[in-house]
Structure 1
Amino acid sequence: MKKQTLAVKKPLYIVLISVHGLIRGHDLELGRDADTGGQTKYVVELARALGERVDVEKVVLLTRRVVDSQVSADYAEVWEPLSDKAGIVRIACGEDKYLRKEMLWDSLENFADNVLLYLKSQPRLPDVFHSHYADAGYVGSRLAHQLGIPLVHTGHSLGRNKRLQLLASGIPRSEIESTYHISRRIEAEETTLGSAERVITSTQQEIEQQYGLYDFYQPERMRVIPPGTDLTQFFPPQGDEKTSPMAMALKRYLKQPNKPMILALSRPDPKKNLVALIEAYGGSPALQQAANLVIVAGNRDDIQEMENISKAVLTEILLAVDKYDLYGKVAYPKHHKPEEVAVLYRLAAASGGVFVNPALTEPFGLTLIEAAACGLPIVATEDGGPTDIIRNCRNGHLINPLDRAALADTLLQVLADRVAWRRFSRNGIAGVRSFYSWPAHVESYLSVIRPLVEKAEPRTRMSLRRRSGTFREQAIFTSLDQNLIGDPVSLVPFLQTMQEHRKAIIFGIATGRSLDDALAILKRHNIPQPDVLITGQGTQIHYAPNLTEDAVWTRHIDHLWNRQAVHDILKEMPGLTMQPKSNQSAFKLSYFIDPAATDVNAIRRLLLRNEQAVNVIFSFGQFLDVLPVRASKGLALRWCAEKFGFPLEQTLVAGVTGADADMLRGNTLGVVVDNRHLGELADLANIEKIYFSKQPHAAGILEAMTHYRFFVDDNAGTAA
């Protein structure tokens, strides 16, 4: 029998490509501008970490050479060593001066040609390219095709998601194109996804919810490799943290500073759900007895001078502390330095405490990994990245961020069971080393790269079709109660249809429920988060995948709105009873109405006589909502149509009650879904473009899709 010999694996030559920003091996100018953030830090640290491996021959990080008196001369150096085997090579890319990434698109072919000349001057060609962000993906795609070298790509952020965020911030579509060249970016991303042999992401959710919107979405080519964590910065308590300036700062707030600490750390954003955490703590005397609560929500000097969203969240935090009289039990320090974040984790761990992330949605959860590395057990939202982290590290519990009682009970459970606490602490430290340290990251990374180089995995090609345009030009908007929910049997084929056409349409839900309530309903019925979520009868708009709130809409509807005046006018009105506080909001007054005792039109006339320009909405035979005159489901829908650019003529709108009337009227393809409140929409029966379905619930929406031939060639048709 012939003796087999094992082939020695050839060390790899890896080329990383990261075109934009200011990249150097020391004193990274993180936060200098939008282009000098986490990506620049990641690629430098990845190059260094790869250079430490014996199975890596050489690592070159290619970036743009910048010759500009406005920035350091470091960025003009053609070669900068990072270690014996790793270094940065700077290549000319159009103009010499420093430019933001959006201004580089016309120079990328120039950069690619110069990179090709550099590579051909080297002793050998690289084994693999790894591009970072869309611009590098475009360059990497060209080089991969020219040289026949496999391409790996990391997007870091994606254009389709970025466009939603920019629209939510109030930037007009035309300005988004002229400033950010978003169409070119999305086209580059599509090109890259069609060329890359592997796409590396941080979480499975990123694959499904963000990349899933692209025509060249190929999930079998995608691999989840979480980013590495610096264990020289994040480590268990050493004892000196108790005398640190941060420890002294916390003592100002706390009557019993030696009690275990429940630590929450995030920016002041409604999605982070910090107020709900305080309410959970305030509603549990046992939890207050067991631990202090420490909320670290960014840095502040004067809340009144902060931007509106941060100001609103911080104000709500202070009001919640006051409401539950939590003085002496809750700390909310005004300032912290970046290096004090690790100290906070260690202080909490040393106290026998717990780290909590109650966010409504959490794409990754870097703070959870940092806390775990410091030996601090975690309690985190069951949405997104935390599911991967807790599965890998086995160091805490997942919670429904909308269930305050369960959140309090889970925190109390972690604090009370000291045996489990020590197990969680040990597991977290070990889990981060195994899954989230830089050595672990590089080990996983090379396990993805090497099979491509050795051709040990098949390089399959899917037959994919591009859409005619860059953006989705059809939309479906539906109400929630007695429409999507109410019949789980018909909901299944409806959701399957939405999934099949997710790249072709924008899916929106418009409801009178609050954001928290709507999210809870979606979770309970396994309805995926829509692209657009209109809540509070049209007073709030949020966009997927991160529930980004449209702050401009909020400012827009504030026109002529005087909530207190409306309340005072209606407080003696017979037949009206205020709904619970949970149904009220800054832009919505909600009542139960007895139609036998009062008339909706009389209420409208009364408010008008008192110079209150408002929208009065009657629905489900018993609810009355008073909104700003610029707010309604229909007005919110049209606001979104203007932002996203989908035509109303290609928008299917499904409603069931009076609150949906102005969504259904106009140029939309309307369907009144069969239900017991049809009388509220009876005046729509004579409008030609509004279809009345014969089936209720989601089956009625599917019926309307057939009636309008909505998905024929993915173009909305005329009525059959």
Structure 2
Amino acid sequence: MKKTQSKATRGEGLYIVLVSIHGLVRGENLELGRDADTGGQIKYVVELARALGGHPEVGRVDLLTRRVEDSRVSDDYAQPEEDLGEGVRIVRLDCGPRRYLRKEKLWPYLDCFADNAIKYIRGVGLMPDVVHGHYADAGHVAVRVANLMGVPLVQTGHSLGRVKRERLLAKGASEKEIESRYSISRRIDAEEEALGNAYMVIASTQQEVEEQYASYDHYQPERMVVIPPGTDLRRFHPPKARSPRPPIYKTLARFLKKPDKPMVLALSRPDERKNIPTLVKAFAEHPELRELANLVIVAGNRDSIRELDRGARDVLTEVLMLIDDHDLYGSVAYPKHHSADDVPDLYRLVTRTRGVFVNPALTEPFGLTLIEASASGAPFVATDDGGPRDILRYCQNGVLVDPLDADGMSKAIFDILSDAERWKKLSDRGLKGVRKHYAWEGHAQNYVKRIKSLRREASRSRRGQQRLSGKLAKADRALISDIDNTLLGDKGGLRSMLQRLKEEGREVAFGIATGRRLDSAIDILKEWGVPTPDVMITSVGSEIHYGPEMTKDEGWARHIDYRWQPEALREALLELPGIQLQPKVDQRRHKISFFVDPSLSPSMKEIERLLHQKDLHANIIYSHDHYLDLLPVRASKGFAVRYFADKWGIPLERVLVAGDSGNDEDMLRGSTLGVVVGNHQQELEKLYGFKRVYFADATHAGGIAEAFDHYQFFGRCGVPEEG
């Protein structure tokens, strides 16, 4: 009755937004192991969402993921929403091409995902109490959503790019190969950004905090908490006495001469990091173990190995070759298909046959499968890393081994299987330890307690700020342009563009976004005969004013004050060679400007790292190999444009932004309609091919006018339909 009453007042509960972008996410029948992106993280976030939904103090949980329309996958992933009950929803948002993409291909589209996420949350009509990113790609999105909305950011890395790069280098892969395959630099940059902006980082193990995160420049251990992942004890439990054999038993029996021998089970996707071939070698090269037990390898689902991606194909090909080399037929099962409902039955078969569950992964930050196996009564042998260390400390029901030591792995497995008394003791300890330390209810309780304790550093008063301009209140679209070399530079093109705007743009809000300070921007616009804009975003996005009175948006100023320490930033940079302050007139409350001599100064990457290590937070804007601006982390042209559009209720999809150089890039990315004028600088050419970025042939304001026609800006206003 108490739970029912609490659910009746959901509108007053916490609103939690979880973001997990890659992979295939749905509430039932998770396709775990289908590919490298649909693994333990997917299961974790779905179960976390459900567990939080069951907490009496939580009103709503939205799990934001990517919508996929692809004939190769289920139609479930194309549905915009999926209701999981108790105020929990999976919300699928558009992000790049409709087809299913691996996570390394998603980076160019994440800014659009962030814009769509903000639009969705605004439609909900509630301010989130927290935005929680899962993995680096979601961290990139969560930083933008949380910073624009002024709410706390929580991050969970799941696995970390620096650690992965070190492991791959140790195995002989080259830097070039790693970068090409995994986009590892973008991933690490996103992880650093998320760590720098997070109010709290949730890790699953102490080792993850002390050893893995410690390699990052933004490592701040006081912001990190360990909340072990949970498991559903209703699904994962020991076999009941005299219960019938499950359906998956018949599938395994097809492979095995004696299917009732103790089962050595490995359950993971066929990923190189999961280290399945070493387990096969360990089993094959230990004669007593081969005689005593069967090996069962459940490595995702497949119709044909030939149709898998290269990594999975290579792993399974090696496994089959090892089986053939050692003539393991009749002693090893490797089924092509299994369902989500088969997974608890597989663990229970391990317990029923008095077998062992093995996780031989090279690295294991979580170890959810170990927890599930332990909850089912199965002892384990696992890699001596991360999650397994903590699980063993809590449950005392297994053995840790060097994942590359096949002999040590086989000995550990055999020693457990060959000692019935020890097996029983390990099984009992695991059951008791999981109930105490790894139930989802306890995880949710700890999570909610932590969320409630986060300090609300950012002001939320801007939503109620009085509107200042009749035109802005009526505008249903907007043009925002950079000034120098974009709006200005060709008088004929400017006159033509302004005339069209005057004649056809009665409902268009006109604005500029520039690196210039306000007085300088006003002077140059007057000089060129440009009417007073409705909105002026100046000083590289650190100030917003509304015309004609040039009324300052104080809400924006309060919003970007977050973690802004100008004196400490100024002091840190002036200690470096080749850097000096620009004149006082160019310094602003939320902008510190320097001249840079690149022949003497550190690189921007080195400066960024220095600030990270000093726990100083700034958005670094470097232009023309000479000018360096430091802004608050919530300030940029792109953030300011989004703040403006959100505040005045103008759909971001109806905001045309124009630029010519790299410091316009964050305006151009995302859901806005972008135009790069014909006289653009080379650094913007990386945006070629983006659906919402148009490269004009005409230069300066003529290029903007060209975009009016391309996007039918005064008509339907949108990206031209293909074909």
TM-score w.r.t. structure 2 length?
0.51
Q: 1:277 to 1:239 in 2, by over 3 A?
A: farther
Output the CA distance in 2 between the equivalents of 1:248 and 1:170. Answer: 41
Structure 1 residue 36, shift from structure 2 partner: 5.3
Q: Contact between 1:127 and 1:453, CA under 8 Å: does it hold in 2?
A: no
**Matched pairs, number:** 453
Q: 1:469 to 1:159 in 2, by over 3 A?
A: farther
User: What secondary structure is seen at the aligned counterpart in 2 of 1:375?
Assistant: coil
Structure 1 residue 211, shift from structure 2 partner: 3.0
Q: Contact between 1:241 and 1:347, CA under 8 Å: does it hold in 2?
A: no
What is the CA deviation profile of residues 645-687 of structure 1, one whole-angstrom value per residue up to 9, with x for unaligned ones? Answer: xxxxxxxxxxxxxxxxxxxxxxxxxxxxxxxxxxxxxxxxxxx
1:277 pairs with one of 273, 282, 292 = 282
Q: 1:43 to 1:470 in 2, by over 3 A?
A: farther
Output the CA distance in 2 between the equivalents of 1:98 and 1:300. Answer: 17
User: What secondary structure is seen at the aligned counterpart in 2 of 1:385?
Assistant: helix
Partner of 2:509: none
2:195 pairs with one of 190, 193, 196 = 193
Output the CA distance in 2 between the equivalents of 1:300 and 1:68. Answer: 17
Structure 1 residue 469, shift from structure 2 partner: 6.9
Structure 1 residue 447, shift from structure 2 partner: 3.7
Q: Contact between 1:301 and 1:334, CA under 8 Å: does it hold in 2?
A: no
2:352 pairs with one of 339, 350, 353 = 350
Structure 1 residue 217, shift from structure 2 partner: 2.1
Output the CA distance in 1 between the equivalents of 2:407 and 2:69. Answer: 58
Instruction: Work out whether 1:138 is the aligned partner of 2:140.
Output: yes
Output the CA distance in 2 between the equivalents of 1:315 and 1:67. Answer: 36
Q: Given residue 153 of structure 1, which amino acid in structure 2 is its aligned partner? A: Q
Partner of 2:63: 61
Structure 1 residue 364, shift from structure 2 partner: 3.8
Output the CA distance in 2 between the equivalents of 1:69 and 1:261. Answer: 37
Q: 1:74 to 1:313 in 2, by over 3 A?
A: closer
Structure 1 residue 56, shift from structure 2 partner: 1.1
Q: Given residue 449 of structure 1, which amino acid in structure 2 is its aligned partner? A: I
1:311 pairs with one of 306, 309, 317 = 317
1:203 pairs with one of 184, 205, 208 = 205
Q: 1:21 to 1:407 in 2, by over 3 A?
A: closer
User: What secondary structure is seen at the aligned counterpart in 2 of 1:294?
Assistant: strand
Structure 1 residue 194, shift from structure 2 partner: 0.3
User: What secondary structure is seen at the aligned counterpart in 1 of 2:47?
Assistant: helix
Q: 1:220 to 1:69 in 2, by over 3 A?
A: same
Q: Given residue 198 of structure 1, which amino acid in structure 2 is its aligned partner? A: M
Q: 1:316 to 1:304 in 2, by over 3 A?
A: farther
What is the CA deviation profile of residues 442-491 of structure 1, one whole-angstrom value per residue up to 9, with x for unaligned ones? Answer: 23322432321589xxx99999999947699xxxxxxxxxxxxxxxxxxx
Bigger drift between 217-226 and 249-258 goes to: 249-258
The aligned runs of 1:464-479 (5 Å cut-off) are 468=603
Partner of 1:559: none
Q: 1:343 to 1:405 in 2, by over 3 A?
A: same
The aligned runs of 1:119-138 (5 Å cut-off) are 119-120=121-122, 124-138=126-140
User: What secondary structure is seen at the aligned counterpart in 2 of 1:380?
Assistant: strand
Partner of 2:484: none
* Higher RCO (Cα < 8 Å, 6 or more apart): 2
Structure 1 residue 83, shift from structure 2 partner: 1.8
Instruction: Work out whether 1:398 is the aligned partner of 2:400.
Output: yes
Q: 1:240 to 1:187 in 2, by over 3 A?
A: same
Structure 1 residue 196, shift from structure 2 partner: 0.4
Instruction: Work out whether 1:421 is the aligned partner of 2:423.
Output: yes
Partner of 2:374: 372
The percentage of counterpart residues that share the same residue type is 50
Q: Contact between 1:364 and 1:385, CA under 8 Å: does it hold in 2?
A: yes
Partner of 1:294: 295
Q: Contact between 2:256 and 2:333, CA under 8 Å: does it hold in 1?
A: no
Q: Contact between 2:397 and 2:427, CA under 8 Å: does it hold in 1?
A: yes
Partner of 1:642: none
Q: CA RMSD in A?
A: 4.9
Q: Contact between 1:393 and 1:427, CA under 8 Å: does it hold in 2?
A: yes
Structure 1 residue 105, shift from structure 2 partner: 4.6
Structure 1 residue 376, shift from structure 2 partner: 1.4
What is the CA deviation profile of residues 414-433 of structure 1, one whole-angstrom value per residue up to 9, with x for unaligned ones? Answer: 34554443332222223223
1:443 pairs with one of 438, 442, 445 = 445
Partner of 2:390: 388
User: What secondary structure is seen at the aligned counterpart in 1 of 2:85?
Assistant: coil
Q: Contact between 1:278 and 1:320, CA under 8 Å: does it hold in 2?
A: no
Q: 1:204 to 1:248 in 2, by over 3 A?
A: same
- Structure 2: segments with no counterpart, 5+ residues: 1-8, 458-561, 574-601, 608-612, 614-723
What is the CA deviation profile of residues 1-52 of structure 1, one whole-angstrom value per residue up to 9, with x for unaligned ones? Answer: xxxxxxx998422122234555554566667776555544433332222111
Partner of 1:15: 17
Q: 1:109 to 1:400 in 2, by over 3 A?
A: closer
Q: 1:102 to 1:370 in 2, by over 3 A?
A: closer
TM-score w.r.t. structure 1 length?
0.51
Output the CA distance in 1 between the equivalents of 2:424 and 2:84. Answer: 39
Output the CA distance in 2 between the equivalents of 1:181 and 1:360. Answer: 20
